[in-house]
Amino acid sequence: MAGDVIYTLVLFAVLIVLAILTGKFMAKVFAGDQTFLSPVLSPVEKLIYRASGIDPSEEMGWKKYALALILFNLSGMALLFFMQLVQGILPFNPQKLGPVRWDTALNTAISFMTNTNWQSYAGESTMSYFTQMAGLTVQNFVSAATGFAAMLALFRGFTRKNSETVGNFWADMTRTVLYVLIPLSLIWAVILLSQGVIQTLGGYINALTLQGNSQVIAAGPVASQEAIKMLGTNGGGFFNVNSAHPFENPNWFTNFMEILAILLLPAALPFTMGYMFKSRKKGIAMFMAMFILLIGGLLFSVYTESKGSPLFAKAGIEHGINMEGKETRFGVYTSILWGVTTTAVANGSVNAMHDSFLPLTALVPLFNMLIGEVIFGGAGVGIIGMLFYAFMTMFLAGLMIGRTPEIYNKKLEVHEMIMTLIGIITGPLCALIFTAIACVNPNGLSSLNNGGPHGFSEMLYTFASAHGNNGSAFAGINANTVFYNLMTGGAMLIGRFATIIPALAIAGSLARKKIIPDTSATFQTTTPLYVIMLISVVMIFGGLTFFMAFVLGPVLDHIFMNAWLLY
């Protein structure tokens, strides 16, 4: 246990230091300032603009910005869909894998375009090297950059006054990919390669086992995809078992570096916000709210999983410790740490099967996703979601003191609050409604491995992961059916654009407003009181919205487990 505590303390210490440095660096990049990478990358950036016919200084209103974002993403989705349908005739396919089934291809195209990276298929037996590299990995970069772009537009809504524009989508995308995602991915890929994560274009390996049987060992360009899948809060694995596979995650050090990569950019963005708002305290307050929620979920999960299962204790396992679905090289604690982190950050990668967590432990990943992935959250959209909760916090504070709500020197009026409610409520309602449909539809029930409350948790987790653009799988459910591919595809689209479009609408509205100077009556957003209120709003919203779903799923599953009832 002492080793686990040290592991976590070192991880979070390194994270905080790197998040501050990275946050400051990104603020300079997005402001167009010179950085240490500018001498090398500035000529490349200008060449991209020239070749694409883009004028980076041309400003866009929020509607034009949103249109560019939507058309770019839909074009990428269509290209990825087509690529899967014809992958059998494309190069870099040593295993001669054929075309992907249409519903799986559509689901995958939506998934990677929305930064969800939900995979209802086994990667090593479905996708060719070309599809993995030219399709999925490219989307890992641009879907993450799309989230950054939406975030930057919202930030500019606060920093500008009497303005009709929120920036240039193409410039924001280019700078994010060129200065942030590619350099960090190169660093992480080299580190992972040095530790044994594979990277090859050679075919799969035919091996002879100790029993004398023939076994095909899947290989491929893994390290390059692994780096951006973590850094871009993507999560799609080359292999079916994701980062539980030793070729993706060989040892404790790669496990450390991959968790760090999952957290790094989302944790850095509150500091970026502070630098762009010219108030580091505002960024620190936002970071602390997210960090406290993360630590609270982690402590609860560790406590519940460490209690063990009475069923395992009855079977003679010491303390009823639950190692089912976990890798022995990582153990219980590190598996829980990853599970909480990946669902807080909307990454979706796994190093253990969440279906095998004890019921109350599984409650935390569910909660993390259903509140909108705002505990750091996905690339860019996580902090957008937390800002929605911040708007709601200031609205409630305004009601208590009889003032029009203000935040970060801008007034929040009817339009902003309507957009905020759309951003907060649409995704969770989608998850609950789609889960209810699956519960009463034979096509939804036929895919379950378990009945009762555990089966309900499997369905709820599926749509929570889809709407939250997380992509992690609970396991125990076959989602590669026409029903689930279409249903989760719809949930992913709703979850993505019901967050981004309201955020851009708010950005355009705020940019047109004047900046209000602080007065003695201003409710400060840099105090412990504000942090406590923000955390409380997130917790209360999650509790009130999903209480009954949690009772029908993990809570009832826990009660039945202690009564020795299984499903």
pLDDT tens-digit map of 184-232: 999 999 999 999 999 988 888 888 888 888 888 888 899 998 999 999 9
What is the pLDDT, as a whole number, of residue 420? 93
Confidence of residue 438 (pLDDT cuts 50, 70, 90): very high
Q: List alpha helices for 512-527, DSSP H.
A: none
At residue 362, does pLDDT exceed 80?
yes
Q: How many domains does the chain have?
A: 1
Distance between CA 24 and CA 12 in Å, rounded?
18
Q: What is the mean pLDDT of residues 388-417?
A: 85
The mean pLDDT of the chain is 90
Q: Closest Cα to residue 312, out of 325, 298, 293?
A: 325
Range 248-252 average pLDDT: 91
Nearest to 338 by CA among 27, 99, 8, 3: 8
The answer, yes or no, to whether residue 567 has pLDDT greater than 80, is: no
- In this prediction, residues 354-358 reach a mean pLDDT of 86
Q: Answer whether residue 323 shows pLDDT above 80.
A: no
Residue 207 · residue 215 · CB < 8 Å: yes
Position 486 in a domain: no
Q: Are 177 and 72 in contact (CB under 8 A)?
A: no
User: What pLDDT, on the 0 to 100 scale, is given for residue 313?
Assistant: 65
Coil, strand or helix at 448: strand
Q: What is the three-state SS of 146-169? A: HHHHHHHHHHHHHHCCCCCCCECH
- Three-state DSSP at 207 gives strand
The per-residue pLDDT for 468 is: 86
Distance (Å, whole) CA 464 – CA 472: 10
Q: Facing residues of 206 across strands?
A: 216
The pLDDT of residue 475: 77
- Establish if 63 belongs to a structural domain: yes
pLDDT band at 318 (very low <50, low <70, confident <90, very high): low
The one-letter amino acid code at 135 reads G
Rounded mean pLDDT of 242-270?
A: 93
pTM for the predicted model, two decimal places: 0.93
Opening angle at CA 408, ends 407 and 414, nearest 5: 35
Q: Is 238 within the bounds of a domain? A: yes
The DSSP 8-state label assigned to residue 234 in this structure reads -
- Written as one letter, the residue type at 328 is T
For residues 324 and 335, give the distance between their C-alpha atoms in angstroms, rounded to a whole number: 11
Q: Are 165 and 196 in contact (CB under 8 A)?
A: no
Residue 541: which pLDDT band, with cuts at 50, 70 and 90?
confident
- Looking at the domain assignment, is residue 16 inside a domain? yes
Lowest mean pLDDT among 236-240, 295-299, 389-393: 236-240
pLDDT reported for residue 1: 67
Q: What is the β-pairing status of strands 410-411 and 214-217? A: unpaired
Each residue's pLDDT tens digit, 142-195: 999 999 999 999 999 999 999 999 999 999 999 999 999 999 999 999 999 999
Distance CA 373, CA 338 (A): 15
pLDDT at 472 over 90: no
Q: What's the pLDDT tens digit per position in 68-115?
A: 999 999 999 999 999 999 999 999 988 888 999 999 999 999 999 999
- The Cα–Cα gap between 159 and 147 comes to 19
Name every residue whose Cβ is closer than 8 Å to that of residue 103 and which is 6 or more positions away in sequence: 481, 482, 485, 486
Spatial neighbors of 567 by CB under 8 A, at least 6 apart, are 450, 451, 452, 453, 454, 455, 557, 560
Let me know if residue 308 belongs to a domain.
no
Share of the chain above pLDDT 70, in %: 98
pLDDT per position as a tens digit, 542-557: 888 888 889 998 999 8
Domain that residue 57 falls in = 2-278
Let me know if residue 220 belongs to a domain: yes
Q: Is residue 295 part of a domain?
A: no
Among 73-82, 301-310, 484-493, 525-534, name the one with the lowest average pLDDT. Answer: 301-310
Count of CA atoms in the C-beta half-sphere (13 A) of 263: 28
